Amino acid sequence: MSTPSTTAYVLRGVRPYGTDPVDVVLADGVVAAIGAPGTVEVPGGATEIPASGQVLLPGLVDLHTHLREPGREDAETVFSGTRAAAAGGFTAVHAMANTTPTQDTAGVVEQVYRLGQEAGWVDVHPVGAVTVGLGGERLAELGAMADSAARVRVFSDDGKCVHDPVLMRRALEYVKAFDGIVAQHAQEPRLTEGAQMNEGIVSAQIGLTGWPAVAEESIIARDVLLAEHVGSRLHVCHLSTAGSVEIIRWAKGRGINVTAEVTPHHLVLTDELARDYDPVFKVNPPLRTAKDVEAVREGLADGTIDIVATDHAPHPVEDKDCEWASAAFGMTGLETALSVVQQTMVDTGRMTWADVARVLSENPARIGRIDGGQGRAIAVGEPANLTLVDPDATRAIDGRSQVTASDNTPFAGMELPGRVVATFLRGRATVLDGAVVESTGTGSVTLEGAAR
Amino acid sequence: MKHLLTTQGLSKDDAILLLDTSAQMAATQSRENKKLPTLRGRTVVNLFYEDSTRTRISFETAAKRLSADVINFSAKGSSVSKGESLKDTALTLHAMGADAVVVRHSASGAAHQLAHAGWLDAGVLNAGDGMHQHPTQALLDAFTIRRHLVGNVGEDGRGTDTSAGADLAGVRVAIVGDVLHSRVARSNVYLLHTLGAEVTLVSPPTLVPVGVETWPCRVSYHLDETLEQWQPDAVMMLRVQRERMSGGAGGAFFPSPMEYSRKFGFDARRLAVLPDHAIVLHPGPMNRGLEISAAAADHPRSVIVEQVANGVAVRMAALYLLLAGTDERNAL
């Protein structure tokens, strides 16, 4: 196959994983060459990208994104959400199941998968619902979703907890047949009825119903024991408390096959932000205390927490421009995630860029079983799914100028370090010079298995 | 004072100014012509998202006695799901030129948002937001306590109030009941503390919020022990909502109304334990026989009816201080 010159790039003086500068050539959708500056062979017509001082990472993978389509296209679509993902440096996202209709059948997950392919910004991997309609009563057709064109491996009722212990046990067991994983939204429902924010000093003063840490921790404790008992893989979504980190650490010490994620916002924001009742800070699980923030940072640095996932949760303006109690839970995150990780973990010296690649690309790809093409090492012959970051840049965050269709960023008005300069999806630039590259048409739409 | 949203952070000087102004307002209310021209031409909107006849008519009476134009706006339901959003209502009131908005809302923070979200310029007076704050209730409670325990108005409350300029230093107040869900308790704890009073919250542990340890007060789980050993000068009973008793959603805070009443209900026997000067308060409406017995509620030492009258004076003071110009305030 001939190589059109427009799809070849040479990144000059770039630092893979933040290490020594090299030149990297991308051609034919793969990493074609890596060598000392000035030594690599460059295909004719390749686009030169001066990248001195910039960091090259494997394309970021988000295990936890809400794209809202089908059902809430007023908040986000697969197209707008994945375009935002590319802008944030992602090359793959897992689309959560709480759409309308719910992603609980092969038909719906294939629809989302196909919309992702048509959009072409990132690989979209639909998450399958664990229970029908997220109702928590009977298992959805997990096998059909696994066998569908979308090849679902991650199952979650995210937004709701699989609280019935028998149902959770069955789900953990059942997905073993196709190497799936249950990603649990750990929230004991009875302990969190009407809950609005972290239960503690701030909720007591400002009079909002508390969401106690124990409601998260008790479910995680139960689920790691269930996973141990039946020998299954368990993934814990967005853990947010110091106690949860301790339980995961204990479980891993016992050899339990559990992985855990933290969101960017739980790495930096606290419940003190609720004091002005601005619903942009209303999120589930809620923002916790400074002690919890420190614990999740420590857990991420020492490997107790495996990944950072955004829990990108777009909402239309009216769902946030109202009373706290009436407002929707959730905040956008795709375009700020890498900056927050840099600020909290890299610039503080707690993690290297190689660690960032681990928690934002390699581990999530492996957990989601998409590591055949995503989360790969930066090496010759590997798919050119790459993210180029300028760590020395700073940018002021403004919700209205984000690529996502929604404005609800908790970082509005803040200066965050780092800027995604370019994103490559199998060698094609989806972002260049910090701006998304509008696609000229749909990618190759394949629906192998759809007619089955 | 542009808004009155919370007693947390209210300065002692402002609190005493509010109480002294209330006393001046109260003095005008024994005249034959109770109406003052102070707020003529100003528009006060009573924006009530929760049913509350007594608080609404108290504010309405206060505004009318100051000659303000009063608009009552009753809105049912919450934003988004039903009807007009809080924001759109605020924009409407702004367009109509409201000078002050008195707001009662089931959502904690609604008054704060009205004041600070940039939807309208009017002064905002919080008439109760969710479980958060109800500052004029705390002010009328403090005003009533000050008249009786500092100002020596006598048991019938008709003597001359000599407490102008005074705080509540050393006064002991027990606040008894459902603290967890109570904006009255939250408002009183901070205001009474600011005024120098000592506060003990008395409640079953299920009805005390997690995080209470930062509040400037003591917490007791035993009413009899508190009354006998601490000897409060004032006892404030909180309304217990009947839906807190059932075992349904979020309920089951205590085993039964009988047990609650036995351990935390205020009656003549418990009244007899108090010092002779002690007074009994209740924000109303009362559940007679549950948190307070009829004998205690109607006892000469109960100031519950006087609280209602003082409420009008306190709300006149709050409206006056929010709306009257700086020059007039200096002239006060």
Give the domain CATH number at B27: 3.40.50.1370
Nearest CA in chain A to B87: A322
Q: Sort residue B152 into left (φ over 0), alpha (ψ -120 to 50) or beta.
A: left
Asked if residue B112 and residue B214 are part of one domain, the reply reads: no
Asked if residue B156 and residue B283 are part of one domain, the reply reads: yes
Annotated domain spans of chain A: 5-56+383-397+416-434, 59-367
Confidence of residue A450 (pLDDT cuts 50, 70, 90): very low
Mean pLDDT of A307-335: 96
Confidence of residue A361 (pLDDT cuts 50, 70, 90): very high
- Decide: residue A1, CB within 10 A, 0-12 exposed, 13-18 middle, 19+ buried: exposed
Nearest CA in chain B to A202: B211
Asked if residue B160 and residue B118 are part of one domain, the reply reads: no
- Decide: residue A80, CB within 10 A, 0-12 exposed, 13-18 middle, 19+ buried: buried
Burial A385-419 (b: 16+ CB within 10 A, else e): bbbbbbbeeebebebeebbbbbbbbbbbebebbbb
Run means of pLDDT, 10 residues per run, chain B, 332 residues = 96 98 94 93 94 92 97 68 79 93 96 95 96 98 97 85 95 97 97 98 97 98 98 97 62 88 96 97 94 97 96 98 65 38
Q: What H or E segment, with its residue span, contains residue A348?
A: none
Mean pLDDT of A304-316: 98
Write out the residue range of the structural domain in which residue B48 sits.
12-133+309-331
Q: What H or E segment, with its residue span, contains residue B280?
A: strand B279-281
- Given an 8 Å threshold on Cβ–Cβ distance, is A202 in contact with B212? no
- Residue B117: count other Cβ atoms within 10 Å of its Cβ: 16
Answer whether residue B7 is part of any domain.
no
> What's the confidence (pLDDT) of residue B159?
85
Mean pLDDT of A52-76: 97
> What's the confidence (pLDDT) of residue B53?
86
> What's the confidence (pLDDT) of residue B80?
39
Answer whether residue B66 is part of any domain.
yes
> What's the confidence (pLDDT) of residue B106?
92
- The percentage of chain A sitting over the pLDDT mark of 90, rounded to a whole number, equals 95
Structure confidence by residue, pLDDT tens digits, A231-276: 999 999 999 999 999 999 999 999 999 999 999 999 999 999 999 9
Grouping H, G, I as helix, E, B as strand and the rest as coil, residue B154 is coil
> What's the confidence (pLDDT) of residue B329?
43
Task: Give the lowest-confidence range in A147-151, A329-333, B156-160, B322-326.
Answer: B322-326
Asked if residue B186 and residue B146 are part of one domain, the reply reads: yes
Answer whether residue B179 is part of any domain.
yes
> What's the confidence (pLDDT) of residue B248?
55
- The amino acid that residue A93 corresponds to is V
The strand pair at A435-436 and A428-432 is best described as: antiparallel
Q: What are the phi and psi torsion angles at A5 (to 5°)?
A: -60, -25
Which residues of A does the annotation mark as catalytic? 311
Q: How far apart are CA A311 and CA A261, in angstroms?
A: 10
- Given an 8 Å threshold on Cβ–Cβ distance, is B129 in contact with A193? no
Answer whether residue B74 is part of any domain.
yes
Asked if residue B317 and residue B296 are part of one domain, the reply reads: no
Please indicate, yes or no, whether the overall pTM of this predicted structure exceeds 0.80: yes
Contacts of A135 (CB under 8 A, 6+ apart): none
Mean pLDDT of A410-437: 97
- Given an 8 Å threshold on Cβ–Cβ distance, is A201 in contact with B87? no
As given in the structure block, the two tokens for residue A53 are 């001082």
Number of domains in chain B: 2
A200: nearest CB among B133, B210, B250? B210
- Given an 8 Å threshold on Cβ–Cβ distance, is A205 in contact with B107? no
Confidence of residue A447 (pLDDT cuts 50, 70, 90): very low
Grouping H, G, I as helix, E, B as strand and the rest as coil, residue B204 is coil
> What's the confidence (pLDDT) of residue B247?
54
Asked if residue B262 and residue B161 are part of one domain, the reply reads: yes
Same topology for domains A5-56+383-397+416-434 and A59-367, yes or no? no
Assigned CATH for A59-367: 3.20.20.140
Mean pLDDT of A214-235: 98
The ipTM, to two decimals, is: 0.92
**The CA-based dihedral angle spanning residues A291, A297, A302, A306, taken in that order and rounded to the nearest 10 degrees:** 120
Q: What H or E segment, with its residue span, contains residue A82?
A: helix A78-87
Asked if residue B145 and residue B44 are part of one domain, the reply reads: no
Structure confidence by residue, pLDDT tens digits, A365-381: 999 999 999 999 999 99
> What's the confidence (pLDDT) of residue B250?
54
Asked if residue B290 and residue B221 are part of one domain, the reply reads: yes
Confidence of residue A6 (pLDDT cuts 50, 70, 90): low
Asked if residue B222 and residue B88 are part of one domain, the reply reads: no
> What's the confidence (pLDDT) of residue A117?
97
Q: How far apart are CA A195 and CA A208, in angstroms?
A: 8
Interface of A with B (CB under 8 A): 193-194, 196, 199-210, 212, 276-277, 318-319, 321-326
B130: nearest CB among A199, A207, A210? A207
Nearest to A84 by CA among A335, A314, A381: A335
> What's the confidence (pLDDT) of residue A1?
41
- CA-based nearest distance A424→chain B, Å: 40
DSSP state of A416: E
Confidence of residue A137 (pLDDT cuts 50, 70, 90): very high
Asked if residue B284 and residue B209 are part of one domain, the reply reads: yes
Number of Cβ pairs < 8 A linking chain A and chain B: 89
- Of the candidate CATH numbers 2.40.50.140, 2.60.40.680, 2.30.40.10, 3.40.50.80, the domain formed by A5-56+383-397+416-434 belongs to 2.30.40.10
Asked if residue B197 and residue B113 are part of one domain, the reply reads: no
Mean pLDDT for chain A? 95
> What's the confidence (pLDDT) of residue A200?
98
Contacts of B297 (CB under 8 A, 6+ apart): B280, B282, B286, B288, B304
Q: How far apart are CA B140 and CA B18, in angstroms?
A: 10
